[in-house]
Amino acid sequence: MSTSILQRFLLEDLDIRGAFVRLDDVWQALLASRNYPSTVRDLLGAMSAVASVIGGNLKQAGRLTIQLQGHGPVSLLVVDVTEALNLRGYAKASDEVAGKVSIADLVGDGQLLLTLDMPGLRHPYQSYVPIEGNSVAEIFEHYLTQSEQQPAALHTAASSRGAACLFLQKLPDADRKDPDGWDRITRLAATVREEELLGLPAEELLIRLFHQETVRLLDAREVTHDWPQDWDKVRDMLRSLGRAELEAMLEEHGEILIHDDLSNHEYRFDAEDVAALFAEPPAEPRILH
Q: Which pLDDT value is given to residue 162?
A: 97
* 282 within a domain of the structure (yes/no): no
**For every one of its 289 residues, what pLDDT tens digit does the chain have, with 9 covering 90 and above?**
578 999 999 998 999 999 999 999 999 999 988 889 999 999 999 999 999 999 999 888 889 999 999 888 889 999 999 999 999 999 998 877 776 677 888 887 888 999 999 887 788 889 998 888 889 999 999 999 998 889 999 999 999 999 999 999 999 999 999 999 999 999 999 999 999 999 999 999 999 999 999 999 999 999 999 988 899 999 999 999 999 999 999 998 999 998 888 888 889 999 999 999 888 665 566 665 5
* 283 within a domain of the structure (yes/no): no
Residues 253 and 110 in one domain: no
Domains of the chain: total: 2
Residues 106 and 142 in one domain: yes
* CATH number of the domain to which 248 belongs: 3.90.1280.10
Residues 200 and 90 in one domain: yes
DSSP track, 208-264: HHSTTS-EEE---EE-B------HHHHHHHHHHH-HHHHHHHHHHHSSEEEEETTTT
Q: Which pLDDT value is given to residue 161?
A: 94
Residue 62 · residue 83 · CB < 8 Å: yes
Q: Which pLDDT value is given to residue 102?
A: 76
Quickly count: other Cβ atoms within 10 Å of residue 42's Cβ: 20
* 43 within a domain of the structure (yes/no): yes
* 284 within a domain of the structure (yes/no): no
* 214 within a domain of the structure (yes/no): yes
Quickly count: other Cβ atoms within 10 Å of residue 197's Cβ: 23
Residues 29 and 56 in one domain: yes
* 42 within a domain of the structure (yes/no): yes
Cα→Cα distances 96→59, 69, 269, Å:
40, 16, 33
pTM over 0.85: yes
The parent domain of residue 173 ranges over 5-222
Residue 36 · residue 91 · CB < 8 Å: yes
Residues 250 and 209 in one domain: no
Residues 115 and 22 in one domain: yes
Residue 73 · residue 97 · CB < 8 Å: yes
Crossing angle for the helix pair 136-148 and 38-56, to the nearest 10 degrees: 20
Between CA 282 and CA 249, with CA 230 as vertex, the angle to 5 degrees is 75
Question: Which of 26, 133, 137, 35 lies closest to 92 in space, CA to CA?
Answer: 35
Residue 43 · residue 72 · CB < 8 Å: no
* 132 within a domain of the structure (yes/no): yes
Q: With residue 44 as reference, give the H or E element that holds it.
A: helix 38-56
* 86 within a domain of the structure (yes/no): yes
Q: Which pLDDT value is given to residue 50?
A: 97
Question: Cα(254)–Cα(247) distance, rounded to whole angstroms?
Answer: 9
Residues 182 and 69 in one domain: yes
* CATH number of the domain to which 181 belongs: 3.55.30.10
From 192, 222, 252, give the residue that closes a domain: 222
Residues 179 and 124 in one domain: yes
Residues 202 and 238 in one domain: no
From 182, 198, 222, give the residue that closes a domain: 222
Question: Cα(60)–Cα(206) distance, rounded to whole angstroms?
Answer: 26
What is the DSSP code (8-state) at residue 86?
B
Question: Cα(209)–Cα(252) distance, rounded to whole angstroms?
Answer: 59
Which residues 6+ apart lie within 8 Å of 19 measured at CB?
Answer: 6, 7, 8, 9, 53, 56, 57, 165, 166, 167
Q: Which pLDDT value is given to residue 280?
A: 66
Residues 263 and 156 in one domain: no
Residues 239 and 140 in one domain: no
Which residues 6+ apart lie within 8 Å of 121 measured at CB?
Answer: none
Residues 122 and 260 in one domain: no
Q: Which pLDDT value is given to residue 100?
A: 65
